[in-house]
A and B are shown apart, each in its own frame.
Chain A
Amino acid sequence: MAYKFDATVRYAQSHDWARLEGDLVVCGISDYAQHALSDVVFIELPSVGDTVAQGDIYSTVESVKAAEQVYAPVSGEIVAVNDDLEANPELINEDPYGAAWIIKVKPSDAGELDALMDAAAYESLLAEHE
């Protein structure tokens, strides 16, 4: 199976991604994760102003068959939430690295992002699991 990887994001082991945009970190789930979930039908979003620590569950994405938790790839304060996903959760299947970003975080520890995997390392991780 050929998954899509995005060279502009960094990946967590939990199949979540993080992308630095200005002084914010945009977060979502990987193409592998959306593929494993299959057709997404629902997302439970956090609120702007919530703070998350790296590894915290901040959202739940539900597909036709399963509910999967989404983990924060970095720590910080949530400053934006992608409300479009409530009406159009299928965007997570269609455009996981673009239109289906989930939250924007004001990071509290810039070092966390650097410690995540780049696309090549994440691709190797998936290859090991296949």
Chain B
Amino acid sequence: MADQLRRTALYDEHLKLNGRIVPFAGWELPVQYDHLGPTVEHNAVRSAAGLFDIDHMGQVDVRGPDALAFLQYIQVGDMSDLPVRGARYSLMCYGDGGVVDDIFVYRLAEERWWVVINASNRAKDVTWMQAHAAGFDVTLDDISDATYMLALQGPKAQEILQRLTPADLDAMPFHSCLETEVAGISTLLGATGYTGEYGYELFFPVEQAAAMWNALLAEGQADGLLPCGLAARDSLRFEPCLPLYGHEIEQDIDPISARLGWAVSFSKGDFVGRDALLKLKLEGTSHLLVGFEMVDKAVPRGGYSVALDGEVVGEVTTGMKSPTTGRFVGLAYVPADHAKLGSAIDIVIRDQPKRAVVVRRPFYLAAYRR
């Protein structure tokens, strides 16, 4: 690791809150707050609210007369019907269908968009987007360094945030965005998130990071708002089966295998990866992502092998004891003919095959799907 780890502007705030700092995607971030712990933080988001420092996420500003045409070409979703102030999940794929990154696309104006990208992929994504911009009348700016990003998530997120903003949050549908003020700070507010709960993601100038963080924590304290680290962020996104780059999706995994085909529009016209993805959709993929639950008592974890009759046939992408349900569950790639609900598979844990069974995803139904 020759690269120096980067610290977010909230590093000192995390230390003050007993944050246990670990390296993550090139950044030093709190995996948990020691007086709380991953389980307490997780439960706070399911029952009240949690605040996350997600400044390691990147943002690319895309604008110009061809901004829509450019975006239609470099990502798999159809954004032509995304209204101004709308936000939508999508993926960028290589020509062979493998995933460059999964993204959130925000439409700020008719010809102005933001693409939110993953920390670990920032340089790669920006380079890839620029490489495909030739021929489009479009301007790309990596605004990640100037833009801070926090996530406020959970059933109490709205009432906490409403006390700090003049925007009418009741009038803001899920997966929309709005330029407003929060705690007196000029903010792009997204009614978005990655925890399976309703909530918000806030984009604002990096200079205001500590002011915003502390204003939100103070405002939400009586409502049970807690700061949350990376461990809780991972378990919260895992239970509703929201994919994480580097786990469920990667350069050598396509969205069809990852069960993200719903995000891909084949009717919108050409885009990078279209031919490969259409072929995979029509002909089927060799492996599929499944949810599984342990039959034998054991904790499955990302990276463990999946075996059938002693033969390694796949890999666990994420697994844990689900904090909300108490079930020992995971996500794994298995051969397509073993992807049916009820199929028996073995998870190899410390060289021992442990029996598991394919079960329905998600493990937790997101609040916005109920």
Known: A1-B34, A39-B39, A42-B321. A67 touches B231 (CB 8 A): no
- The answer to whether B350 touches A64, judged by C-beta atoms less than 8 angstroms apart, is no
- The answer to whether B299 touches A42, judged by C-beta atoms less than 8 angstroms apart, is yes
* Nearest chain A CB to B38 CB, angstrom units: 4
Which of A38, A60, A64 interacts with B320 by CB under 8 Å?
A64
A62 within 8 A of partner (CB)? yes
Residues in A neighbouring B235, C-beta threshold 8 A: 64
- Give Cα distance in the complex from A86 to B299, angstroms: 13
* Nearest chain B CB to A103 CB, angstrom units: 18
Known: A64-B39, A67-B301. A41 touches B321 (CB 8 A): yes
B31 within 8 A of partner (CB)? yes
* Nearest chain A CB to B93 CB, angstrom units: 30
- Give Cα distance in the complex from A5 to B256, angstroms: 53
- Give Cα distance in the complex from A64 to B36, angstroms: 13
Residues in A neighbouring B299, C-beta threshold 8 A: 41-42, 62, 67
* Chain A CB within 10 A, most for which of B31, B39, B323: B39
- The answer to whether A39 touches B34, judged by C-beta atoms less than 8 angstroms apart, is no
* Nearest chain A CB to B195 CB, angstrom units: 16
- Give Cα distance in the complex from A103 to B361, angstroms: 38
- The answer to whether A39 touches B37, judged by C-beta atoms less than 8 angstroms apart, is yes
Residues in A neighbouring B38, C-beta threshold 8 A: 38-39, 64-65
- Give Cα distance in the complex from A39 to B299, angstroms: 13
Question: 1/0 per position for A58-69, CB-CB distance to B under 8 A?
Answer: 001010110100
Residues in B neighbouring A41, C-beta threshold 8 A: 299, 320-321
- The answer to whether A42 touches B32, judged by C-beta atoms less than 8 angstroms apart, is no
- Give Cα distance in the complex from A35 to B34, angstroms: 9
- The answer to whether B301 touches A64, judged by C-beta atoms less than 8 angstroms apart, is no
- Give Cα distance in the complex from A35 to B38, angstroms: 12
Residues in B neighbouring A44, C-beta threshold 8 A: 298
- Give Cα distance in the complex from A62 to B37, angstroms: 15
Total chain B interface residues with beta-carbon distance under 8 A:
18
- The answer to whether A64 touches B323, judged by C-beta atoms less than 8 angstroms apart, is yes
- Give Cα distance in the complex from A72 to B50, angstroms: 40
Residues in A neighbouring B297, C-beta threshold 8 A: 42, 86
Q: Is the interface of B mostly helix, strand, loop or mixed?
A: mixed
Known: A1-B34, A39-B38. A64 touches B298 (CB 8 A): no
Residues in B neighbouring A42, C-beta threshold 8 A: 297-299, 321, 328
* Chain B CB within 10 A, most for which of A1, A39, A62: A39
- The answer to whether B231 touches A64, judged by C-beta atoms less than 8 angstroms apart, is yes
- Give Cα distance in the complex from A96 to B37, angstroms: 17
Residues in B neighbouring A62, C-beta threshold 8 A: 299, 321
Residues in A neighbouring B39, C-beta threshold 8 A: 39, 64
Question: 1/0 per position for B267-294, CB-CB distance to A under 8 A?
Answer: 0000000000000000000000000000
Residues in A neighbouring B301, C-beta threshold 8 A: 67
Residues in A neighbouring B231, C-beta threshold 8 A: 38, 64-65
For window 38-65 of A, CB contacts with B under 8 Å fall at 38-39, 41-42, 44, 60, 62, 64-65
- Give Cα distance in the complex from A41 to B327, angstroms: 11
Tell me the nearest residue of chain A to B235, going by C-beta: A64
Question: 1/0 per position for B9-42, CB-CB distance to A under 8 A?
Answer: 0000000000010000000000110100111000
Residues in A neighbouring B20, C-beta threshold 8 A: 38
Question: 1/0 per position for A16-51, CB-CB distance to B under 8 A?
Answer: 000000000000000000010011011010000000
Residues in A neighbouring B34, C-beta threshold 8 A: 1, 35
For window 290-335 of B, CB contacts with A under 8 Å fall at 297-299, 301, 320-321, 323, 328
Known: A60-B350, A64-B231, A64-B321. A38 touches B298 (CB 8 A): no
Tell me the nearest residue of chain A to B31, going by C-beta: A65
Residues in A neighbouring B320, C-beta threshold 8 A: 41, 64
Residues in B neighbouring A65, C-beta threshold 8 A: 31, 38, 231
* Nearest chain A CB to B295 CB, angstrom units: 15
* Nearest chain B CB to A96 CB, angstrom units: 15
Question: Besides the contacts A38-B32, A38-B37, A64-B38, what 20 more A-B pairs have beta carbons closer than 8 Å?
Answer: A1-B34, A35-B34, A38-B38, A38-B231, A39-B37, A39-B38, A41-B299, A42-B297, A42-B298, A42-B299, A42-B328, A62-B299, A64-B39, A64-B231, A64-B235, A64-B320, A64-B323, A65-B31, A65-B231, A86-B297
* B contacts, CB < 8 Å to A: 20, 31-32, 34, 37-39, 231, 235, 297-299, 301, 320-321, 323, 328, 350
Closest 5 pairs between A and B when the two form their complex, measured CB to CB: A41-B321, A64-B38, A62-B299, A39-B39, A42-B299
| A and B contact pairs by CB, cutoff 8 A, 5 listed | A35-B34, A38-B32, A41-B321, A64-B39, A64-B321
